[in-house]
Structure formats: structure tokens, C-alpha cells
Amino acid sequence: MLKKRKERIDRGIKVRSEDIFALCSWKEMLYLSTPRLLPIVGLLVLSFLLSLYWQKVLLSVSVIALLAISWDLLAQSGMVSLGQALFFGMGAYLAGIMNHYWGLSPFLTIPMATILGGIFCTVLLLPVLRLRGIYFAMVTLILPVMLVRVIEATKIFGGTEGISGLTPLPSRWLELYIIIVALLAAFFGFRRLMGSDFGLVLKGINDNDRSVMNAGINIYWFKAQALFIAGSVGAFAGAYMTHVYMFVGMPVFALDYSILPIAAAVVGGAGTFAGSMFGAFILVPLSEVLRGFGGLRIVLYGLFLVVFIVALPEGIFHYIQRKYHQFERWVEVEK
């Protein structure tokens, strides 16, 4: 018979620092600012400390993290996407085309591909904004797969070969800092966004779309805007990666770019952008470490995902967050 139960109580410092009193002591200020400063300082320090190889890894971590937080934004507004590769690939191809055929510089193609990619993806998904849950997810899963087949069949934009020999970014450091700054900007921007009234409407759509409609709000307009924001961020990641690899081809629509961000969000903990970002910072380096296993890498990866989703469905970040804010103790069960 179980005589004790676990009780969770907020730490005193958490309660104190929720108020204006947080400004009275260093301890409280540190308690508040540490988790927020950690990603900024961490990323900047890491970029200096790492070797060339691991800098490249940091780069792809950031790209996946960008895709993961854009997935999270969509998921929080009631649109579960299984095809982040659509956004990624759209941005990648747009940047590649503009660079290859029109000869524009990366500093023009990346912003233009970001905006245009967002618009294209939104327009492409407009007809299915009415769909919910798994049905919307299926559409997003199918679209990138289909675009690949269409490119393969029509042989446009280099067909199976892709377009290579694109302009690289001028320097290695610029390359690294563009993506780090973009990631931090998107991360904190999204957090602000979801805290605003606009974000409240999006969350409402996720919780109960009908009651939001009842309030006289046009949910399709809000969904389309969320889609545009998430799509642009994904397209930015794609356009950026195109210029890093100096190549764009069918692999940009590959399942990797759909699965990895979702896996990151699931492992890290969906619903807070920090969790998704954190997940990317675990998963991508892990897959680099697993590279030593050769073909077994994807097998282990799949298993890891399954174990995680069964054993810790809330995600690592929520677990850490709980430990940070609350303490636990065993108490007697009252009779």
C-alpha cells in the first residue's frame, strides 16, 4: 500500500521573482535572467570554442533548431505539420534559382527567398487551412514528396542533378553568425509573439477553434499569418543552407528536414520554443556522434525516438523546467 505521495511546490524564489520585488536582489534577478541569457551566451561562446568541424555541426544544429521552432509555432496554433521540408525546400530552391539564373548575390537572394518562400507556402496551403489534425498533417507530409517527384519527372531546375556552383557566403564567421543571430532573433521573437494578443488568438485556435470563431475573429486570416511566419523562417533556413552548400537539389525536400525538427520538438518538449531548440541541440550532435556507427545510425536514431516518446512524453525541457521552478517532497497520504 502506498502511504506517501509526491508533492510539488513552487520554490520561494520563483514566487518572489514573479513580482516587482525581483528587482530588489541579485539572486532573484539572476534566477530570472540565467535561463534567458544561457542560449545567447552559450551560442556566442560555443562559436568561438569549437573546432572547424564542430562549427559546421553547430550550423546544422541551428538550421534544425530554426525549423523546430517554426514547427512549434504552427503546432501551437493548431496546425501540426509533418512537412517542414516543404518550407525548407521552397526557400532553398528559390534562393538557388535567383542566384543561378539571375545572378543575384546571397545578400539579396536570402531575404527575398525568405519572404517569397513564406508567401508561396502560405498560398500552397491556403486551400487546406480548414483541415484539422491528422488531415492537415497528411497534406504537409505529401506536398514535399510530391514536389520532389514533379522535379524528377519534369527535369526543371536541374532535375535530379540539381543546381551546383552557387555563390558562397563571403566568410566563415559571417556564415556562422548569420544563422546564430537569426536563430536567436526568431526564438525570442516567437516567444514575444506568443505572449502578445496575437499569440493568444493563435493559442485559442489550438484549444478551441469554434469558440474563437464565435468571438467574431476570422481564424483563417490568423492561421494564414501564422503559416506565413513559420513558412518564412523555414524558407530562410533553406535559402541559407543553399548558399552554405553552394548547391540546391532534390535532397532539400528530403524526409530528414521534416522528421528531425519534429523529433527535436518531441525530445525537447513541444509547446515552449526553448524545448524545441534544446531538442535540436541534443539530437543533431547525437547524430554526428552516431556517424561512427555508419548505417546503424538511422536505426539507433529511430529507436531513440521511440524510447523517448514512450518514456518521457513531456520532453526534456519540461522536466528541467519543473526541477528549476519547483521542489518535490514525499508527504503522508491523508486518511
Partner 1 sequence: MGIEEFLNSQILNSLIFLSMLFGTLIYGFVNSIILALVALGFNLTFGISGVANFAYGALYILAGFLSWVLFNSVGLPYVFAAILSVLLTAIAGALMYRFILLRIRGMVLSEVIATFGIGLSILELFKYLGFIGFEYTLPVFIDYSIDIGQVTIDMQRIFIVIIGIALAVFLWFFTHYTKTGLRFRGIAQDERTALSLGINSDLVATLSVSFGAAYAAIAAIVILPLGTITVDHGYEVLINALAVCIVGGLGSTGGVVIASFLLGYAQTFTATYIESHWVMVVPLVAILAILVIKPSGLFGEQKELEERI
When binding is defined by CB under 8 A, the residue of 46, 131, 193, 290 that contacts partner 1 is 131
C-alpha cell at 42: 552559450
Among 134, 215, 331, 333, binds partner 1 (CB under 8 A): 134
Which residue, among 315, 186, 167, has the nearest Cα to 242 in the 3D structure? 167
Q: Provide the grid cell at 90.
A: 521552397
Amino acid, single-letter form, for residue 39: P
Nearer to partner 1, 110 or 283 (CB): 283
Of the residues 8, 27, 149, 329, which one makes contact with partner 1 according to CB under 8 A: 149
Nearer to partner 1, 13 or 139 (CB): 139
**Which of 15, 185, 309, 331 is close enough to bind partner 1 by CB under 8 A?**
309
133 near partner 1 (CB under 8 A) = yes
CB 78 within 8 A of CB 132: yes
| Residue 295 interacting with partner 1 (CB under 8 A) | yes
CA dihedral 144, 146, 147, 152 (to 10 degrees): 130
Task: Give the Cα separation of 14 and 10 in Å (integer).
Answer: 7
Restricted to residues 66-125, the positions that interact with partner 1 (CB under 8 A) are: 80, 82
Near partner 1 by CB under 8 A: residue from 30, 108, 200, 303? 303
From residue 53, give the alpha-carbon distance in Å to each of 47, 50, 252, 294: 11, 8, 22, 18
Q: How far is the CB of 258 from partner 1 (least distance, A)?
A: 10
Q: Should residue 215 be labelled a site residue for partner 1 when binding is judged by CB under 8 A?
A: no
What number of chain residues touch partner 1 (CB under 8 A)?
A: 42
Chain centroid, CA 27 distance in Å: 32
Binding partner 1 (rule: CB under 8 A), the pick from 58, 202, 219, 237 is: 219
DSSP letter at 10 equals: E
Residue range at the interface with partner 1 (CB under 8 A); choices 7-15, 88-96, 179-187, 289-297: 289-297
Confirm or reject binding of residue 305 to partner 1 (CB under 8 A).
Answer: yes
Contact 268, 280 (CB under 8 A): yes
Please answer whether residues 332 and 6 qualify as being in contact, where contact means their C-beta atoms are separated by less than 8 angstroms: no
The reply to whether 213 sits near partner 1 by the rule CB under 8 A is yes
Fill in the amino acid letter for 100: H
Q: How far is the CB of 297 from partner 1 (least distance, A)?
A: 8
166 within 8 A of 247, measured Cβ to Cβ: yes
Examine residue 127 and tell whether it contacts partner 1 (CB under 8 A): yes
Q: What are the grid coordinates assigned to 211, written together?
A: 469558440
Q: How far apart are CA 218 and CA 317, in angstroms?
A: 33
Report d(CA 206, CA 249) in Å as an integer. 35
Work out how close the CB of 173 gets to partner 1 at its nearest, in angstroms, rounded to a whole number.
Answer: 36
Stretch that binds partner 1, among 56-64, 149-157, 162-170, 241-249 (CB under 8 A): 149-157
Is 100 in a helix, a strand, or coil?
helix
Binding track, positions 20-59, relative to partner 1; x by CB under 8 A: ----------------------------------------
Please say which residue, 112 or 131, places its beta carbon nearer to partner 1.
131
Q: If we measure between CA atoms, which residue out of 215, 275, 217, 252 comes closest to residue 113?
A: 252
Q: Give me the residues that bind partner 1 (CB under 8 A), please.
A: 80, 82, 127-128, 130-135, 137-139, 142-143, 145-146, 149-150, 152-153, 209-210, 213, 219, 259, 262-263, 266, 294-296, 298-299, 301-303, 305-306, 309-310, 313
